[in-house]
Chains A and B, each alone.
Chain A
């Protein structure tokens, strides 16, 4: 039974492309080049991903920098407070 199903599937898979091909006209063999002025829209490079990437990069870069400066500032502030506490208590390093 299983063998029969397998043979049936193989025969069908060979036949279906033949049916499809019979319904479409065969592609024309190209024997000359035809110039056009502008690429058809589906071949042109889409602008939207580039635009989105550019604006996202700007926002991310600026945000990353602000975070970096803020983090460094907090570290320095913390150390400054610790030091001032030490000095106030009259101790040395």
Chain B
């Protein structure tokens, strides 16, 4: 593991411990009350979900057109994180929605396209696991299409009348809400980087095992 891993992990752990304090001290929102506090984990995990899809897509493009196996390992790790943060987003969202909108789920553009984006990531994982040889390139192709979905997910909520809040909420946040949000977002970003590095290391070790097996049979 690189030198920056343990110090960063320490910082991330401290920030994770401090986040609930900041969230508890944030004011209540006028219409949603206590349940709005889910926002401070729902939004950062949604950002990691979409950001992970972009990381996976870019790494996939570089793997497809340059053949660099490190990019392939990065893409696989990023896809797994997309599944993880996607699950967190898609569970915390409905828990909030149950109170704020009265329903667990609505088939509006934002929710539907997010669910589809998550399913693309799950399909990526299935393809890597069960696709056999050559599935690294195929998965890279899939990841490209998944990345094309991300801008659609983001701006869809501004152009269709949906029940989900628009992207105008974050730029216009008062500081009392903004501080816990951005602190939580940085914590999630650090966690994303740490998890990504761990997962890439797993693939690197697997690749070393493969090379060792090949060298032994020679």
A residues in contact (CB < 8 Å) with B: 45, 47-48, 50-51, 53-55, 57-58, 61-62, 65-66, 69-70, 72-73, 76-77, 79-80, 83-84, 86-87, 92-93
Residue contact B35 to A47, C-beta cutoff 8 Å: yes
* 10 smallest beta-carbon distances between A and B, as pairs: A47-B35, A47-B34, A76-B205, A54-B92, A54-B95, A54-B38, A83-B212, A50-B95, A58-B41, A92-B216
B residues in contact (CB < 8 Å) with A: 20, 33-35, 37-38, 41-42, 45, 84, 87-88, 91-92, 95-96, 98-99, 191, 195, 198-199, 201-202, 205-206, 208-209, 212-213, 215-217
Residue contact A57 to B91, C-beta cutoff 8 Å: yes
Residue contact B202 to A53, C-beta cutoff 8 Å: no
Residue contact A65 to B201, C-beta cutoff 8 Å: no
**Distance from A84 Cβ to chain B, minimum over Cβ atoms (Å):** 7
Residue contact B88 to A57, C-beta cutoff 8 Å: yes
User: For the complex, would chain A's binding face be called helix, strand, loop or mixed by DSSP majority?
Assistant: helix
A54 — which chain B residues lie within 8 A by C-beta?
Answer: 38, 41-42, 91-92, 95-96
A80 — which chain B residues lie within 8 A by C-beta?
Answer: 205, 208-209, 212
Residue contact B95 to A76, C-beta cutoff 8 Å: no
Residue contact B95 to A53, C-beta cutoff 8 Å: yes
Residue contact B212 to A51, C-beta cutoff 8 Å: no
B88 — which chain A residues lie within 8 A by C-beta?
Answer: 57-58, 61-62
Give the docked Cα–Cα distance between A76 and B73 (Å): 15
A73 — which chain B residues lie within 8 A by C-beta?
Answer: 198, 201-202, 205
Give the docked Cα–Cα distance between A50 and B97 (Å): 10
**Distance from B55 Cβ to chain A, minimum over Cβ atoms (Å):** 17
Residue contact B34 to A93, C-beta cutoff 8 Å: no
